[in-house]
Structure 1
Amino acid sequence: MKSITKFFRDVIREMKRVSWPKRKELTRYTVVTLTTVIFAAVFFAVVDLGISELIRLVLE
């Protein structure tokens, strides 16, 4: 039981040392991440559609 308590005390101590991003940085990082994910999703959807159409043309 002591080791679990010590573990959580150490976690709390380390979390106080963490350098958390400011609100402006966090907003910027979130926008960059969402933009990247949306771009990747659209890109792969277009590639998938193109490959699907190509296969349909070959199989007809």
Structure 2
Amino acid sequence: MVVSVSVVLLLVLLAAMLMRNRALKPSHAVLCVLLGFCLASTSLAPTIQSTLTSTASLVETMRP
């Protein structure tokens, strides 16, 4: 649960930065959110979730 909240916050932050720099319009952001909801209800959802989880664990093991 903590990983998914962190990923969501990161994506919100990136979207806000892109909107601030006028690289992402609000309509594009809404489209991305709707796409995310559609992907969550498909058979790809477990694959996406496992990829995000494994990437988060990989980043967690890295030391600067």
Give the greater-gyration-radius structure (CA): 1
TM-score, normalised by the number of residues in structure 1: 0.38
TM-score, normalised by the number of residues in structure 2: 0.36
Higher relative contact order (CA 8 A, sep 6+): 2
